[in-house]
Structure 1
């Protein structure tokens, strides 16, 4: 029951922040950039300003699927961001492009999330098998893992998720900080394209990572305390 309460609380928080984030992005999408640059042009200028000439900028489908892929060296922007000539598009494009700049400059934290992705995927697969086994009963679970081992594996897997979530935070905060400083310095946001709007947009986006990290930590602590409590019996 406690686990469902934890999930419920953070699920509601995610919905609230997500709804507010979408609302603000719609609002800020009506504010044009000072120089009329699109998200793609913002990304390209930032890459050139930082000497990153081997990174491609791609337009992808979806709502806010924006990300940087270090394996393919591509900054992937949603169509609204790629073609948008507004403060919201500029802020998102600059933030995602900053991940490419971090990668190019060998920023200390930037490589860690990518390095943990394979381990995170393995952990997710193992957890799925455990929870499926628990759903169908201890007999099926016992064929996968022993009843003594399963709780330890669950804690270990959530430990990986929590580590990934918290390591991601300084990378995202650094990217936002760099992006905001750069778009202000280059005049992409000014008195008529309020810099504070871009700052609020990225701050809201960052809050989703904070909630995800705290949710992962709360779940880890729940299973850890459950494991310790079970071992004391």
Structure 2
């Protein structure tokens, strides 16, 4: 019964938050701003204000596929946000610019996250192999190795939180200080940014829960061996 409740939690929470994000994004995608600028224009303005003239702004296919590429120095915005002039469009655009500004300022959590990317990718892929093999073979050493790999991917999730929240805080300040949003528009922008941040919070909580579950399984395995 306990495992069933746990399974429902780890499945339901991310789905509910994703639904909340999509609904919030959809709502404010239909709400324009008094400034009337597009996401692309908002991104370009904030980049220039921060001396990031070398960083390009490009459209990319897909929905909510927006991201900042630190290697190519490009802010890529989904077409709805690149061409759109809604609260959602400029909120997402300035959030991604927030990452570009972090990159310029050598923001420590961002540097740590970048360093963890290859290790976290390997850790995520290998962890379940070693955990499953350890369970089937009753090999606690292999199981522990899987936990260590998984812990690295959890650390990546944890480090991601301050990176995303800082980018959202910068985005809010950019929009307000430059006059992109005014008065009641500020509330909508906050909701969009907070909804996006919640997805990272949910992913981190679920990852930590899974890590704790694996640790408890490892302890139980060792107790059985004794």
Query: Do these two structures clear the TM 0.5 threshold for a shared fold by scoring above it?
Result: yes
Alignment of 1:21-170 (within 5 A): 21-130=21-130, 138=136, 147-170=139-162
1:7/1:44 Cα in 2 relative to 1: closer, same or farther (>3 Å)?
Answer: farther
1:150: how far off?
A: 2.0
| Cα deviation digits, residues 148-202 of structure 1 (max 9, x gap) | 32211221122112101110001111111111011011111113x6110000111
1:86: how far off?
A: 0.7
2:201 equivalent among 210, 217, 220: 210
Counterpart of 1:15 in structure 2 is 15
Q: How many residues align?
A: 224
1:229: how far off?
A: 2.2
1:209: how far off?
A: 0.5
Answer yes or no: is the 8 Å Cα contact 1:7–1:215 preserved in 2: no
Matched, 1:182 2:174: yes
1:199 equivalent among 165, 178, 190: 190
Which of structures 1 and 2 has the larger relative contact order (alpha carbons within 8 angstroms, sep 6+)?
Answer: 1
Counterpart of 1:222 in structure 2 is 213
1:123/1:7 Cα in 2 relative to 1: closer, same or farther (>3 Å)?
Answer: farther
State the secondary structure of the residue aligned to 1:37.
coil
| Cα deviation digits, residues 5-36 of structure 1 (max 9, x gap) | 43431321111111121111111112112221
Whole-Å separation in 1 of the counterparts to 2:152 and 2:161: 15
TM-score, normalised to structure 2's length?
Answer: 0.92
1:172 equivalent among 156, 164, 174: 164
State the secondary structure of the residue aligned to 2:75.
strand
| Cα deviation digits, residues 42-84 of structure 1 (max 9, x gap) | 1111100001112111211111111111111111111111111
Whole-Å separation in 2 of the counterparts to 1:107 and 1:148: 39
State the secondary structure of the residue aligned to 1:97.
helix
Whole-Å separation in 1 of the counterparts to 2:187 and 2:201: 21
Whole-Å separation in 1 of the counterparts to 2:193 and 2:23: 13
Whole-Å separation in 2 of the counterparts to 1:160 and 1:5: 26
Whole-Å separation in 2 of the counterparts to 1:5 and 1:172: 30
Moved over 6 A (4+): none
Can you give the 5+ residue segments of structure 2 that lack an aligned partner in the other structure?
none
Answer yes or no: is the 8 Å Cα contact 1:37–1:85 preserved in 2: yes
Deviates more, 1:15-24 or 1:199-208: 15-24
State the secondary structure of the residue aligned to 2:57.
strand
1:133: how far off?
A: 5.1
